[in-house]
């Protein structure tokens, strides 16, 4: 059978590659493709390799955190305050994302990151007095532990 004959009777794939319509830049398109590839490989990998591939996907998608922060118009102080929550949202999105499904990771991750940021912003900010009390307790616990 020739290569040209093989395409005549083939079943179309269930999932097609994302369509790049020119509305997104090259970096975003590359991030989409690489993220899906990394997470597909992670789904089939051994636990140690899976974590490494997921870490690479997380690192690759760190710009999504900045994009969500920009969209929410966070100040520099607010960004610093919610940074850990945003990273937790990104990690949660990695666990929730189905790389074989139709959704794009950036959409899923943006929702998770935004939810975490908004939840963190809603929490009351600790007062200086409370922080001093916590530090004092830690110092006492450390001093008593040395004895």
- The pLDDT assigned to 22 comes to 54
pLDDT at 1 over 80: no
Tokens in use for 61? 């998608």
pLDDT (0 to 100) of residue 146 = 63
User: Most distant CA pair in the chain: distance in Å?
Assistant: 82
DSSP class per residue in 32-57:
HHHHHHHHHHHHHS-HHHHHHHHHHH
Domain positions in the chain: 21-146
Q: Is the pLDDT of residue 116 over 70?
A: yes
Residue 143's pLDDT band, with cuts at 50, 70 and 90, is confident
pTM of the model: 0.68
Alpha carbon 27 to its chain centroid, in Å, reads: 16
Question: SS3 of 146, please?
Answer: helix
User: What is the per-residue pLDDT across 54-88, written as a single tens digit (0 to 9) for each?
Assistant: 999 999 999 999 999 999 999 998 999 899 999 99
């Amino acid at each position: 059978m020739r290569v040209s004959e093989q395409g005549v009777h083939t079943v179309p794939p269930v999932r097609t590659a994302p369509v790049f319509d020119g509305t997104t830049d090259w970096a975003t398109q590359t991030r989409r493709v690489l993220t899906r590839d990394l997470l597909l490989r992670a789904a089939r990998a051994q636990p140690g390799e899976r974590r490494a591939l997921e870490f690479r996907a997380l690192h690759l998608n760190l710009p999504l955190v900045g994009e969500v922060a920009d969209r929410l118009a966070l100040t520099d102080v607010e960004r610093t305050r919610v940074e850990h929550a945003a990273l937790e949202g990104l990690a949660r999105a990695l666990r929730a994302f189905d790389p074989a499904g139709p959704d794009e990771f950036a959409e899923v991750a943006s929702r998770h990151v935004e939810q975490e940021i908004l939840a963190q912003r809603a929490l009351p900010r600790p007062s200086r007095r409370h922080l001093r009390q916590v530090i004092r307790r830690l110092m006492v616990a450390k001093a008593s532990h040395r004895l």
